[in-house]
C-alpha cells in the first residue's frame, strides 16, 4: 500500500496478458472487478505513471499500476413525490406493493427514485429510525427486479415488533415464481446455508464459508413441461434466497441472468418473482393481518404464453 486511499502493484509473469480490471480485482480482493472498471473510467488508475481509462488494456510483466480509491461520498436521502401502491396504512405500519425495477433504499448508483424516497414523501417524519437515515422504516427488502409486498415501520416500537417476528420466522412471506424444468415432486424444501459466493463477491451462493442458515419451502402450482409455476415460502430471509436455492436444485428462475441461463426466453430478461402474500401480527393490536397482491401484468403475460404453448 502506498497511502490510505491508493495502492500500487507490480505485474508479475503470472498476471501478464490479463485484462487490467481483472488484474486489479485479483490483487485487491476487497473490491469487485466492476468497481475497478468504474475506477478506470473515472481516470483513477495509472500505468507506469500515465493515466489509463481503458479496461481492455492487457497488463505486461513489470507494469507498475497505481489505483486511487476516492473517499466514499456520504449519501443523503430526499423525499420524492413518487406514487405508491398502498395496501394498508395506520399509525404503525404501511404495506406497499413495490413495482419491478424499483430499488428499496438508496445506495451508490441508486440515490433517487427508490421506495425510501417515495415513503419519506408520503410519511414525512413518521418513520422508524432504527435502520438509519438511508433506510428509514425498512424492516425487510426485496430485490430491485422483484415485485410485491413490503411492510414499512412508522415508528421504532413497531419496527422492533416486526423485526422480532422476522427473527422468530413467524411472518408469512409467500412468493410466486416461474422456474425452469419440471419437478418430480409436488412440494419440497431447500435447507442450505447461503453466503457471499467465494468466487464472485457480487453473487450469493450455497456455501459453508461465512454463511447463514437458509430455508425455502416450495410447492408446484402449475406445470408447463419446460417451466413450472411455484409458490415459494421463506422460513428465513437471506439475500437472493429463492433465486439461489432454486438455482441450487437445478430450477433457476426464468429471466434470472445472474443465477440462471444468460439468455432472453419468452421475452423475459429479469427474474419472474413476485412477493404475493405478506402476513404478520399487528405491532399494537396483536391481530394477525394478511395481504395478497395480484401478479403484475408482465408475469401474467408470460403465464398466458406458457399456457398457450
Residue among 58, 61, 55, 45 nearest 12 (CA):
61
Q: How far apart are CA 156 and CA 165, in angstroms?
A: 14
**What amino acid positions are annotated as catalytic residues?**
143
The pLDDT of residue 112 is: 87
| Nearest alpha-carbon partner for 189 in 153, 216, 162 | 216
pLDDT of residue 73: 59
Mean pLDDT of the chain: 91
Q: Are 216 and 234 in contact (CB under 8 A)?
A: yes
List, for residues 209-225, the tens digit of each pLDDT value: 889 999 999 999 999 99
- Structure letter (DSSP) for residue 307: H
Model confidence pLDDT, tens digit, residues 116-133: 999 999 999 889 887 777
Cα separation, 243 vs 132, whole angstroms:
28
In the block, cell 406458457 appears at 306
CA-closest candidate to residue 271, choices 238, 245, 290: 245
Give pTM, 2 decimals.
Answer: 0.77
What DSSP character marks residue 204? E
Q: Which of 39, 303, 309, 42 is nearest to 179 (CA)?
A: 303
Q: Which domains are delineated in the chain?
A: 6-68 (3.10.290.10), 72-167 (3.30.2350.10), 169-309 (3.30.2350.10)
Closest CA to 151 of 291, 44, 13, 285: 291
- Say if residue 109's pLDDT is above 90: no
Residue 76 to residue 74: CA distance in whole angstroms: 7
Which segment of 42-46, 87-91, 232-236 scores lowest on mean pLDDT? 42-46
pLDDT for 266: 92
10 Å CB burial of residue 295 (0-12, 13-18, 19+) is middle
Residue 192 to residue 213: CA distance in whole angstroms: 7
Cα(257)–Cα(235) distance, integer angstroms: 25
Amino acid at each position: 500500500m502506498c497511502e490510505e486511499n491508493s495502492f500500487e502493484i507490480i505485474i508479475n509473469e503470472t498476471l501478464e496478458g490479463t485484462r487490467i480490471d481483472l488484474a486489479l480485482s485479483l490483487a485487491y480482493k476487497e473490491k469487485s472487478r466492476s468497481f475497478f472498471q468504474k475506477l478506470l473510467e473515472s481516470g483513477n488508475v495509472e500505468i507506469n505513471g500515465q493515466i489509463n481509462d481503458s479496461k481492455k488494456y492487457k497488463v505486461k510483466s513489470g507494469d507498475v499500476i497505481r489505483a486511487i480509491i476516492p473517499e466514499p461520498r456520504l449519501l443523503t436521502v430526499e423525499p420524492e413525490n413518487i406514487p405508491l401502491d398502498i395496501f394498508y396504512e395506520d399509525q404503525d405500519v404501511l404495506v406497499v406493493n413495490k413495482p419491478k425495477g424499483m430499488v428499496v433504499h438508496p445506495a451508490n448508483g441508486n440515490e433517487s427514485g427508490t421506495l425510501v424516497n417515495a415513503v419519506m414523501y408520503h410519511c414525512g417524519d413518521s418513520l422508524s429510525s432504527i435502520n438509519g437515515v438511508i433506510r428509514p422504516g425498512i424492516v425487510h427488502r426485496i430485490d430491485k427486479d422483484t415485485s410485491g409486498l413490503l411492510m414499512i415501520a412508522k415508528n421504532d416500537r413497531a419496527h422492533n415488533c416486526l423485526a422480532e417476528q422476522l427473527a422468530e420466522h413467524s411472518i408469512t412471506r409467500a412468493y410466486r415464481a416461474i422456474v425452469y424444468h419440471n419437478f418430480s415432486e409436488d412440494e419440497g424444501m431447500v435447507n442450505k446455508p447461503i453466503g457471499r459466493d467465494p468466487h464472485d463477491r457480487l453473487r450469493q451462493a450455497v456455501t459453508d464459508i461465512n454463511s447463514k442458515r437458509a430455508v425455502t419451502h416450495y410447492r408446484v402450482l402449475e406445470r408447463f413441461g419446460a417451466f413450472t409455476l411455484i409458490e415459494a415460502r421463506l422460513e428465513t430471509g437471506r439475500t437472493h434466497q429463492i433465486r439461489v436455492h432454486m438455482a441450487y436444485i437445478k430450477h433457476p428462475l426464468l429471466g434470472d441472468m445472474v443465477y440462471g441461463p444468460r439468455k432472453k426466453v419468452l421475452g423475459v430478461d429479469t427474474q419472474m418473482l413476485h412477493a404475493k402474500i405478506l402476513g404478520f401480527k399487528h405491532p399494537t393490536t396483536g391481530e394477525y393481518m394478511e395481504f395478497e397482491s395480484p401478479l403484475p401484468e408482465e408475469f401474467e403475460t408470460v403465464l398466458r404464453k406458457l399456457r398457450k404453448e
